[in-house]
Amino acid sequence: KAGVTQTPRYLIKTRGQQVTLSCSPISGHRSVSWYQQTPGQGLQFLFEYFSETQRNKGNFPGRFSGRQFSNSRSEMNVSTLELGDSALYLCASSSPSGRASYEQYFGPGTRLTVT
Amino acid sequence: AQSVTQLDSQVPVFEEAPVELRCNYSSSVSVYLFWYVQYPNQGLQLLLKYLSGSTLVESINGFEAEFNKSQTSFHLRKPSVHISDTAEYFCAVSGTVGGGSNYKLTFGKGTLLTVNP
């Protein structure tokens, strides 16, 4: 089975711009979660989608948004970029049922640099 | 609210020595516990997990962790490390809240394991 894929792997943007990151989950997985990783704050949860609905949300400003499509692929968008948004953005997917739904499998991440 | 404390930010060891990476969690709910490993410029790889059953869980590359409910700990151990084990290790928790499910992973700050020859 192919793993979680994320595109692009690297991005450089300017303050004030917006960016869209994409994530394709493992085949059969219906839950997709997004995390931000920075040296200062570590790994922080952004949001989780299941069957095209946001099921859980972290403590991030409204500039961070996401969506999920019917094929379970997900996108996250950050508008009005700030320097502090520079981070590794990780996507994870999990199986839809039972205790296995708590296991999350991560993609390689998208490294976003805001200048 | 859930929280995870990894007591050591860095652990340097020599090759073939034993190692223990410590993890304590705080949670008022039923917990599921995980260890992830991150190599430079890569994502997180699931190393091992505790969901139910035996409190001692093992990975295919020689790591093991023991869920200790009374001490709220999930320490990671390996009896003999290799150079290739050099990486950052993250402990994480998720679980249920009053019958509801919380699929969000809460991570510790990570422990950088450096294995020296």
Answer yes or no: are the C-beta atoms of B50 and B77 closer than 8 Å. no
Closest CA to B23 of B85, B81, B90: B90
- Which of A33, A90, A102 has its CB closest to that of B32? A102
The mean pLDDT of chain B is: 91
Q: Which of B46, B94, B110 sits opposite A105 (nearest CB)?
A: B46
Give the 3-state secondary structure of residue B110.
coil
Q: Is B42 on the interface with A (CB under 8 A)?
A: yes
Range of weakest confidence among A27-31, A33-37, B1-5, B100-104: B100-104
B-interface mutation test, from A50, A95, A104, most B Cβ less than 10 A away: A104
- Say if the Cβ atoms of A42 and B109 lie within 8 Å: yes
Cα–Cα nearest to A89, from A114, A68, A62: A114
Contact B105/A99, CB-based, under 8 Å? no
Q: What percent of chain A has pLDDT over 90?
A: 88
Give the pLDDT band (50/70/90) at residue B34: very high
Nearest CA in chain A to B52: A99
Terminal alpha carbon distance of chain B: 41
The whole-angstrom separation of Cα A62 and Cα A105 is 26
Of B42, B51, B103, the CB nearest to A108: B42
Q: How far apart are the first and last CA of chain A?
A: 37
Q: How many residues does chain A have?
A: 115
Q: Which residues pair with B87 in a beta bridge?
A: B113
* Contact partners, residue A61, CB within 8 Å, separation at least 6: none
pLDDT digits (tens, 9 = 90+) for A3-18: 999 999 999 999 999 9
Q: Identify the band that residue B97 occupies on the pLDDT scale cut at 50, 70 and 90.
A: low
Please state the φ and ψ torsions of residue B27, each to the nearest 5 degrees: -160, 140
Does residue B99 register a pLDDT over 60? no
Q: Sign of dihedral through CA atoms A100, A102, A106, A110? A: positive
Average model confidence (pLDDT) across chain A: 94
Q: What whole-number distance in Å separates Cα of residue B52 and Cα of residue B64?
A: 15
Residue B61: predicted pLDDT: 87
* % of chain B beyond a pLDDT of 70: 93
CB-CB contact of A80 with A22 (8 Å): no
Question: How far apart are alpha carbons A7 and B16 in whole angstroms?
Answer: 38
Distance from CA of A72 to the nearest CA of B (A): 17
The pLDDT score that the predictor gives to residue A37 is 97
Find all residues with CB under 8 Å of B32, minimum gap 6, and list them: A99, A102, B49, B50, B51, B93, B94, B95
Neighbouring CB atoms inside 10 A of B82's CB total 12
